[in-house]
Amino acid sequence: MGRRRFWAEHPHGPIVLTTFSLVGATALDVLDEGWEEASLDVAPIMLVVFGCGALNTSFVKDGEVSVPLSYVTGTLLKMGQGIERHIAGGKAADWLGYFLLFASFVLGAVVGGCISLVVNGTWMLVVASVVCALTTGFTYFHQDRRDRRLEGRI
């Protein structure tokens, strides 16, 4: 509903909502447990889950979610189908986007694992919030402006 009603003309609305969810989860956890808690309670986790759900609406085609970001297996399936189409005479573009998405899943897991060796609990939420906020700022202020400039709206 948010994708259709609130940010239909603004493709990066989901990441803004995700950023607010992560910042809210961090603030809630700090207020509830302080900075030294090594594990997270249910309420901050539910805000993170909400943010991930919002992020799943990032890729929309014909009004429906085309790539659910939380489903790695679905991405691998789409990639496999694209490879098969490419072998049968299609284009590399049939699978390359899904490969890059899967590679970003793997890279994110590796980076997250490395970060977890240094910080955990509330500080992990802080790191996630900062990274998400930086990504949001870049896409919101740079990418959208570039897209509008190319369309001749600025």
What's the structural domain count of the chain?
1
pLDDT at residue 113 above 70? Answer: yes
pLDDT bucket at 145, cuts 50 / 70 / 90 = low
- One-letter-per-residue 3-state SS of the chain: CHHHHCCCCCCCHHHHHHHHHHHHHHHHHHHHHCCCCCCCCHHHHHHHHHHHHHHCCCCEECCEECCCCCCHHHHHHHHHHHHHHHHCCCCCHHHHHHHHHHHHHHHHHHHHHHHHHHCCCHHHHHHHHHHHHHHHHHHHHHHHHHHHHHHCCC
d(CA 127, CA 116) in angstroms, rounded, equals 10
pLDDT for 56-83, tens place per residue? 777 666 655 666 665 676 787 788 888 9
pLDDT bucket at 87, cuts 50 / 70 / 90 = very high
pLDDT for 89-99, tens place per residue? 989 988 999 99
Q: Which domain holds residue 7?
A: 2-151
